[in-house]
């Protein structure tokens, strides 16, 4: 069975690069009827926070990405928090040392930094020269006496390595040029990322690892380490990074590309997932809009490209807008109300919101744009162009409309249509000079949804009150 994992660190908010990795893993494995594992890499004691862990799980569930194994779900290969797996890591470290595949290294951090500095000056790769492997017993005892705490380093014995990347094809590595013996346990006893990820992938029987290309240089280390511990390495696929609109690297520190921020702005979860899927993947036809089920059926790792993806917020808005317009009026109102409640923007009675929200479906791209649109429900309107009401022509339109309204017995959009038909022969104003004073008087705004759709929401009495208020400015 195909098994993939998403292994975030709970040191901040879930950002665009993270969630794309999670999404691609999820789409890939679901099409293969495999298992999706959530594993939390929380061994960074200073930066890992429980609230970040909870937040990333909530964001994933909001997006529709549900894990088959992991925190709060369980599974046969737990625990799924690395902080709870430290005894497992220590057992494998001890075994590697006893088999002569790793060793205690008494080279200090200052010495390794000096090696890096010299390499930089000489324009060489910052490769560790393995000196700690060859220290004499006397040298080791001397360093122990000075209070130096050892790291544990893995021995690189086979520096030439080839692998087939699921996205990039055949890749060759020469570890002699890249890295020497590398640290698998820090001096404070904490396992490094390299060790923990390999043990976890091996024990959890992960078959495919899909991650960012920033991990490509780590892959030869991981393959050698996995083999040394007796595990069959998974197949690897490395996704190109996402760049900003100007081609600049997209920093994970930027709050405006976190899932938390996308939620605050009011994107639909399936709209956001649709857009993110297009960052590096193409379906092979001209389709750009996909429902969740369609994404899972269409996604193919073979169609993920090697070039960098460009994050385009305008394209995201367009994709989300398409998904909004595809919703039924009932679903649109439900999603919109949920958003307004979550963001504490619910300022009007839900009964009237249910009536008016679908009116905005065709002219918004995100739910955060509703706050401005819903100002037309306020009792005290802000009038964008008072002069259109206060002119002689505008006042005549509003006064005559007030006289006609009590004679109208129709309901729904027919209220507006019959008002206009009765109004036209009784006033001098024509075209926008007829319609605009009514729009300003009733909504306060120059632009907005069709008045014929608003009249049933306000009712004849509501429209009368708004006309009277406008005439009393």
Which residues are identified as catalytic?
Answer: 252
**Any residues with CB less than 8 A from the CB of 49 and at least 6 apart, and which?**
10, 11
In eight-state DSSP terms, residue 344 is T
In eight-state DSSP terms, residue 257 is G
Q: Are 257 and 277 in contact (CB under 8 A)?
A: no
Token pair in block for residue 9: 């660190």
DSSP letters, 346-374, are --S-HHHHHHHGGGGGGG-SSGGGHHHHG
- Report which secondary-structure segment, H or E, holds 286: none
Dmax (CA) of the chain = 109
The residue to which tokens 């385009």 are assigned: 312
Give every strand in the sheet of 169-174, ordered side by side: 35-38, 3-6, 208-212, 235-239, 160-165, 169-174
CA separation for the pair 111, 115 (Å, rounded): 6
Token pair in block for residue 415: 């209220």
In eight-state DSSP terms, residue 64 is T
Token pair in block for residue 339: 């958003």
Q: Are 304 and 281 in contact (CB under 8 A)?
A: yes
**Any residues with CB less than 8 A from the CB of 160 and at least 6 apart, and which?**
172, 173, 174, 175
Token pair in block for residue 172: 């060759």
The residue to which tokens 């625990």 are assigned: 79
CA separation for the pair 275, 60 (Å, rounded): 15
């Amino acid at each position: 069975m195909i098994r993939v994992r998403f292994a975030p660190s709970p040191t901040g908010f879930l950002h665009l690069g993270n969630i794309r990795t999670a999404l691609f893993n999820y789409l890939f494995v679901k099409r293969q009827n495999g298992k999706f594992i959530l594993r939390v890499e929380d061994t960074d004691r200073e930066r890992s926070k429980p609230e970040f862990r909870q937040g990333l799980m909530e964001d994933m569930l909001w997006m529709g990405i549900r894990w088959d194994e992991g925190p709060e779900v369980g599974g046969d290969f737990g625990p799924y928090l690395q902080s709870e797996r430290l005894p497992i890591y220590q057992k494998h470290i001890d075994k590697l040392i006893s088999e002569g595949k790793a060793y205690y290294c008494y080279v200090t951090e200052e010495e390794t930094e000096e090696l890096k500095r010299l390499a930089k000056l000489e324009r060489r790769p910052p490769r560790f020269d393995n000196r700690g492997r060859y220290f004499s017993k006397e040298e080791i005892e001397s360093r122990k006496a000075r209070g130096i705490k050892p790291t544990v380093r893995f021995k690189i014995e086979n520096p030439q390595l080839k692998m087939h990347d699921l996205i990039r094809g055949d890749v060759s590595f020469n570890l002699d040029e890249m890295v020497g013996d590398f640290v698998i346990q820090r001096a404070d006893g904490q396992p490094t990322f390299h060790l923990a990820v390999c043990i976890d992938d091996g024990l959890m029987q992960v078959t495919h690892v899909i991650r960012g290309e920033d991990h490509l240089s780590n892959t030869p280390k991981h393959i050698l380490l996995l083999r040394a511990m007796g595990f069959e390495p998974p197949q690897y696929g490395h996704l190109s990074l996402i760049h900003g609109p100007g081609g600049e690297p997209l920093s994970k520190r930027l709050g405006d590309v976190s899932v938390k921020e996308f939620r605050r702005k009011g994107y639909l979860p399936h709209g956001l997932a649709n857009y993110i899927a297009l960052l590096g993947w193409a379906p092979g036809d001209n389709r750009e809009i996909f429902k969740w089920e369609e994404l899972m059926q269409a996604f193919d790792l073979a169609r993920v490209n090697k070039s960098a993806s460009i994050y385009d917020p305008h394209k995201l808005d367009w994709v989300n807008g398409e998904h909004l317009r595809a919703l039924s009026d009932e679903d649109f109102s439900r999603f919109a109300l949920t958003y307004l409640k979550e963001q504490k923007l619910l300022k009007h009675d839900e009964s009237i919101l249910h009536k008016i929200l679908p009116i905005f479906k065709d002219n918004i791209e995100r739910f955060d744009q509703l706050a401005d649109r819903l100002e037309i429900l306020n009792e005290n309107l802000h009038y964008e162009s008072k002069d259109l009401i206060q002119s002689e022509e505008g006042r005549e339109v509003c006064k005559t409309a007030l006289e006609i309204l009590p004679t109208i017995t129709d309901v729904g959009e027919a209220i507006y249509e019959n008002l206009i038909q009765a109004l036209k022969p009784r006033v001098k104003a024509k075209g926008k000079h007829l319609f605009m004073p009514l729009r300003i008087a009733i909504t306060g705004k120059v632009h907005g949804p069709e008045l014929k759709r608003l009249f049933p929401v306000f009712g004849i009495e509501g429209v009368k009150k708004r006309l009277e208020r406008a005439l009393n400015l």
